[in-house]
Chains A and B, each alone.
Chain A
Amino acid sequence: GQNIDQPTEMTATEGAIVQINCTYQTSGFNGLFWYQQHAGEAPTFLSYNVLDGLEEKGRFSSFLSRSKGYSYLLLKELQMKDSASYLCAVRSGNTPLVFGKGTRLSVIA
């Protein structure tokens, strides 16, 4: 099976940088995804890593280390609208994504 761990909650200040970590255990790893989910809404795609290294996309970056079973999502220049849950998800082979429980980020002034 798969096991995905991420912190339950985090708080950060507007304008700051925050790093949300995710560790996973899976066989047949075929990609790690990050999604943003605002309360009461469906997840929206943020990033996808299948090879080791850093993927940068504007204020958001995602890092992957396959040997360590580790990823992080980095959010820069935090804005109040970034308050949401951030979901780490892993794909094995061609199976549908399996999600972690999500990290609820609160951005405060």
Chain B
Amino acid sequence: GAVVSQHPSWVICKSGTSVKIECRSLDFQATTMFWYRQFPKQSLMLMATSNEGSKATYEQGVEKDKFLINHASLTLSTLTVTSAHPEDSSFYICSEVWADTQYFGPGTRLTVL
């Protein structure tokens, strides 16, 4: 399957600061990546679809000005949580499609104090 990396694995930040999460496709060029979020004991919820060279597509209810997505190259997509608040604390996971199957990065656990 596809190999996806994420950085950082975990991050703790103060309320009001911004945090950038990187997602890298290590073994092929991904024109599309997906960003999911998972709260404890809940399902993975799709936040947005990241498209290389164009604007991301956000799911209903996800604020595009708060969750900035940049997909500047075929191997890197970034998610920036701006002005983070404690309710943004969650597990953020990126995903890419290879051979008709979605593969996930290891996830980034964000804790906002």
Q: Give chain A's interface residues, CB within 8 Å of chain B.
A: 31, 33, 35, 40-45, 48, 87, 89, 96-102
CB pair A43–B44 under 8 Å, yes or no, is yes
- Whether A42 contacts B106 in the complex (CB less than 8 A), given A96-B46, A99-B44, A101-B42, comes out as yes
- What 5 pairs between A and B have smallest CB-CB spacing? A42-B104, A42-B107, A101-B43, A99-B44, A96-B34
Give how many B residues have a beta carbon under 8 Å from the other chain's beta carbons.
19
Besides A40-B109, A96-B34, A96-B95, 10 new A-B residue pairs in contact (Cβ under 8 A), listed by A number: A35-B104, A41-B107, A42-B107, A43-B44, A43-B93, A87-B43, A96-B49, A97-B102, A98-B46, A99-B43
CB pair A102–B100 under 8 Å, yes or no, is no
- Please name all residues of chain A whose beta carbon is closer than 8 Å to the beta carbon of B107 when the two chains form the complex: 41-42
CB pair B106–A41 under 8 Å, yes or no, is yes
